[in-house]
Amino acid sequence: MITQKEITLPPFKRGMHLITGLIEKELGKLPETGMLNLFVKHTSAALTINENCDPEVRTDMDAFMDRLIPDNYPHFRHTQEGNDDMPSHIKTSIFSTSLNIPITNGKLNMGIWQGIYFCEFRDNGRRRRILVTIWE
């Protein structure tokens, strides 16, 4: 059985944000055994799973990606939507548009240090939509 739901995130600042709690609240009751897919319906924001404890992991990861793909990279030609647009597209493809997370005993079955990051790559990202799919 497959069920779906679209959720809209609050606007987030540019950077990486731990949204495990927010997602769990939106999901409500989960099946005993199943799989969750989260799919971001945008091309300048992404999802990833990483360390849920020290906030500096998020700022270090974000800063590293900003140095790897700088807003002032001189070779981009797609620049009419702002200097942060083309880097956002590349970061989105390097990270993930969608995540799969197993559901076991009615809970997201991640490791104890794992959390869901929402990665907002634009300076002014507005509200982003995520399509939730649950298999059971």
Q: How far apart are CA 52 and CA 67, in angstroms?
A: 23
Kindly tell me which of 22 and 134 has the beta carbon lying closer to its own copies: 134
Kindly tell me which of 76 and 82 has the beta carbon lying closer to its own copies: 76
Task: State the Cα angle at 95 between 50 and 27, rounded to 5°.
Answer: 60
Q: How buried is 44 (Cβ within 10 angstroms: 0-12 exposed, 13-18 middle, 19+ buried)?
A: buried
**Residue ranges that bind its own copies, judged by CB under 8 A:** 2-4, 33-35, 37, 39-43, 48-51, 54, 56-57, 59-61, 63-65, 67-69, 73, 75-78, 86, 89-90, 92-102, 104, 109-111, 113-114, 117, 129, 131, 133, 135-136
Please report, in angstroms and rounded to a whole number, the separation of the first and last CA atoms in the chain. Answer: 5
- Smallest gap from residue 25 Cβ to its own copies (A): 21
- Smallest gap from residue 133 Cβ to its own copies (A): 5
- Smallest gap from residue 135 Cβ to its own copies (A): 6
- Smallest gap from residue 136 Cβ to its own copies (A): 7
Residue showing tokens 């104890």: 112
Bridge-partner residues for 45, per DSSP?
A: 120
